Chains A and B, each alone.
Chain A
Amino acid sequence: AQSVTQLGSHVSVSEGALVLLRCNYSSSVPPYLFWYVQYPNQGLQLLLKYTSAATLVKGINGFEAEFKKSETSFHLTKPSAHMSDAAEYFCAVSPSGAGNMLTFGGGTRLMVKP
């Protein structure tokens, strides 16, 4: 069985500040891990994914995430927030086999203050 916990349903940062969105997972098998972003009135867009290669994963729009097996974490970071980063972010896990369902966390809504 798998589960994902995202700490903080709402996170607010100032423009230019560090963005840190937390994700912890549990999985009985080696996981694949994903971060998705949903902008208003749009579908989910893949930001980045970890599939057992490099533990530091770089994604689109300057985001990156680090897989830490010992902490069962996959936190999402961005050094400097932009107003356009305001959206809802979802962490998801899939067992390490292709074509499997995603298990999502509850989502974190990121607000960026000018």
Chain B
Amino acid sequence: EAGVTQFPSHSVIEKGQTVTLRCDPISGHDNLYWYRRVMGKEIKFLLHFVKESKQDESGMPNNRFLAERTGGTYSTLKVQPAELEDSGVYFCASSQGHQSYEQYFGPGTRLTVT
């Protein structure tokens, strides 16, 4: 069974540009989470989808970040326009149904904004 995949693995963009990160969860997993680790800091929650609906987006830093989950399958996280402080590693995780508390993580996307 394929694990959680993320694309791209690395992205280097200039301040003011737009970047879209993609996450493909494990097939059949209803829950999808985005997390971010800024260098030197702890991994922080961004948001949680249940199928295609946003269950909790309390961790989204500001309105420059837009997350979608089309048809309850893959998810995208768009940053527009990117700022220097958006640099970090963005992790995606998924878990099964409502009773599942074990989250499976992808390898992350390392975003560098210059």
Contact = CB atoms under 8 A, between A and B. Distances in A.
Interface of A: 4, 32, 36, 41-46, 49, 51, 90, 94, 98-107
Contacts of B55: 99
Contact of B102 (A46, A101, A106): A46
A98 B42 contact: no
A43 B105 contact: yes
Given A44-B91, A98-B98, A103 B105 contact: no
B64 interface: no
A85 to B, nearest CB: 19
B100 A44 contact: no
B95 to A, nearest CB: 7
Contacts, number: 59
B28 interface: no
Interface size class of B (residues with CB under 8 A): 20 to 34
Given A42-B107, A90-B43, A102-B45, 13 more contacts: A4-B42, A32-B101, A43-B3, A44-B93, A94-B101, A98-B98, A98-B100, A99-B31, A99-B99, A99-B101, A100-B101, A104-B42, A106-B42
A43 B45 CA distance: 15
A94 B102 CA distance: 10
15 contacts: A32-B101, A36-B105, A44-B91, A44-B93, A90-B43, A98-B98, A98-B99, A99-B31, A99-B48, A99-B50, A99-B99, A99-B101, A101-B45, A103-B45, A104-B44
B100 A99 contact: yes
Closest 4 A/B residue pairs (Cβ): A44-B105, A101-B45, A43-B105, A104-B43
B69 to A, nearest CB: 15
Nearest to B46: A101
Nearest to B99: A98
Nearest to B30: A99
B9 to A, nearest CB: 9
